[in-house]
Chain A
Amino acid sequence: MATPTIIELSKALAYIGGTAGTKSYPSDATSYETVPLDIFHELSDDFSALTVERKVLVRAGRRKDTLIKVRSQVVPTLPQRLRSPAYLGARRRALSKQLRAEVDRVELQVDREDFYVATYPIFDLIDTALRELQTATTEGNSREILRQIRDSLIDCGWEKYKAREARNAVREVLALLERLEVVEAQDARFSYGVLRDAGLTPMNFGKMEPHDGDIEYDEESGTNETIGGAETGQASDKDDGSGNDTQKKAKMCN
């Protein structure tokens, strides 16, 4: 249980040189100073998050009163930081192997009309890997490479995965993540070059996707067109099951 102990509170009070007063405190925030006191607990029995907050007003006579806000917090993500570089390196290699298998699976689905669906597992697994390696101080370059692959997928980048050359480049980069004990900055640079040379976009800041109501300029006709207007009815980003979504995405990428 992550409640502040009497000793912790006493220390906090001693720090500001006052004694505990009444529990009620003035509603006028300008009449007192606030001192936040955060206590973090890195371990708990079941790694569940918990926060307990107490406020103590310290009367100081002529001086301005002080409100101490003591917040005792169990932070479940911190124990994960205790995970060793060796362990996280092993997880990165295992996840990269899984990712490579996903890229292999894509090969069988290049003829699908909704090809972006086939590439989604890659995107999803990269997301999982990034979350798992998030706190690892030794896996920064690995995360960078994973982001490069993720970026190569977004904004219709998945369409380029239909080309064998692009998939081979991604496999090559993943093989690197699979075999290295430690991933260096030069590996991230190498990966960037490999992906870029294969026609992928390893650094993608994203572009605005057209939404209903947006106005798009048509170069050929020189006119403005409202997206999702009367002509297209109730088209939206959500798949209505009619295949419109697939057609829309395919059109967008073309």
Chain B
Amino acid sequence: MFAAQSNRTNTALELSFKSDPRYISRLSSLAGRIFPEADMKHWHSTGNALLLRDPTARRILIVNNQKLQLQTLAFDTITKRLDHHVKLIDLAANEFDLKQFENASFTAAGFLDIGMSHREMNDLMFGTYFRPSGVYSTVCEKLSDSNLTMFGEKNGYQLDLYITPMTVDQVLATFDAITNLEHFADPKLFDSGLKDIRSTVEGDACYLRVHLHKPDLSAFEIKPFISESNTLANSIADNAIKLLKSLPT
């Protein structure tokens, strides 16, 4: 479902590591090495963090003293150039002398258009994910909205899953709250591209957020982590929507 609606799905790959007191010199050195390789148009450095921006491909890379983050506004951006992105991560790992990442996570959040209004999606939540709405009449009547959060595991990954039918107002408010959104525009204040993406997601939608994470990953496990978590997130989204629509999974 994420892959089928790639432009309605934003992602974030986050690799966290132990902070080192020498990070300022290392970050500076990394900036010099990674920028020519990154194929990203803009760079910014605050001294504590390095930000590389590629507004055309809607991706940004942030490296600070304890985290490397690759963020995109489309689901397939990372995997389309998987080797390229793995190379950038390797560069950072070498520069910071990292053998192990403390935690690796992949998050995909989609404003999925499943052809239903908010009211319809909310109605279907009861009887599928929740018990039929009548069961709750003693505590709440005329159930007008719902939100499901699940924490668990799937295929060896820790999983946080959020399913929320959203009205158009909720969609826009959630879209506007995407972290670092302003860095995806070029030039920052006048690029209409973001407005176009915002228009794409405008409408009632089923908001699905899949957060997959694994602790203690060695540097050479990052590539399989990226491709596996990407496939798994897509499959979870498929099945989550199928459950809502009472389709066999």
Interface on A for B, CB 8 Å cutoff? 82-87, 89-91, 93-94, 97, 178-179, 181
Contacts of A179 in B (CB 8 A): 247-248
- B227 part of interface (Cβ distance < 8 Å): no
On whether the beta carbons of B116 and A181 are closer than 8 Å, the reply is no
Contacts of B121 in A (CB 8 A): 87
On whether the beta carbons of A84 and B115 are closer than 8 Å, the reply is yes
Q: List 23 A-B contacts (CB under 8 A).
A: A83-B120, A84-B115, A84-B116, A84-B117, A84-B120, A85-B115, A87-B116, A87-B117, A87-B120, A87-B121, A87-B123, A87-B124, A90-B116, A91-B246, A93-B245, A94-B124, A94-B127, A94-B246, A97-B246, A178-B246, A178-B248, A179-B248, A181-B247
A82 to B114, CA, bound (A): 15
Rank and list the top 7 A-B pairs by shortest CB-CB distance, nearest first: A86-B115, A93-B246, A87-B120, A90-B245, A94-B246, A87-B116, A179-B248
A142 to B178, CA, bound (A): 42
Contacts of B245 in A (CB 8 A): 86, 89-90, 93
Contacts of B247 in A (CB 8 A): 90, 93, 179, 181
- B244 part of interface (Cβ distance < 8 Å): yes
Number of interface residues of B (CB under 8 A): 15
Contacts of A93 in B (CB 8 A): 245-247
B111 to chain A, nearest CB (A): 16
- B128 part of interface (Cβ distance < 8 Å): yes
Contacts of B248 in A (CB 8 A): 178-179
Closest to B114 in A: A86
Closest to B248 in A: A179
B97 to chain A, nearest CB (A): 52
Contacts of B123 in A (CB 8 A): 87
CB contact list, B155-180 vs A, under 8 A: none
Q: A90-B244, A93-B246, A94-B246 are in contact. List 19 more A-B contacts (CB 8 A).
A: A84-B115, A84-B117, A84-B120, A86-B116, A86-B245, A87-B115, A87-B116, A87-B124, A89-B245, A90-B246, A91-B124, A91-B246, A93-B245, A94-B124, A97-B246, A178-B246, A178-B248, A179-B247, A179-B248
A84 to B203, CA, bound (A): 14
Closest to B245 in A: A90
Contacts of A89 in B (CB 8 A): 245
B42 to chain A, nearest CB (A): 41
B 89-131 binary contact with A (CB < 8 Å = 1; else 0): 0000000000000000000000000111100110110011000
A101 to chain B, nearest CB (A): 13
A72 to B121, CA, bound (A): 32
B125 to chain A, nearest CB (A): 11
Contacts of B124 in A (CB 8 A): 87, 90-91, 94
Contacts of B116 in A (CB 8 A): 84, 86-87, 90
Contacts of B244 in A (CB 8 A): 90
A82 to B204, CA, bound (A): 14
B48 to chain A, nearest CB (A): 48
Closest to A97 in B: B246
Closest to A175 in B: B248
Contacts of B114 in A (CB 8 A): 86
A93 to B128, CA, bound (A): 11
B 61-89 binary contact with A (CB < 8 Å = 1; else 0): 00000000000000000000000000000
Contacts of B120 in A (CB 8 A): 83-84, 86-87
Contacts of B127 in A (CB 8 A): 94
Contacts of A86 in B (CB 8 A): 114-116, 120, 245
B 14-45 binary contact with A (CB < 8 Å = 1; else 0): 00000000000000000000000000000000
A121 to B117, CA, bound (A): 31
A222 to chain B, nearest CB (A): 57
Closest to A93 in B: B246
B 122-145 binary contact with A (CB < 8 Å = 1; else 0): 011001100000000000000000
On whether the beta carbons of B117 and A94 are closer than 8 Å, the reply is no
A183 to chain B, nearest CB (A): 13
CB contact list, B213-249 vs A, under 8 A: 244-248
Contacts of B115 in A (CB 8 A): 84-87
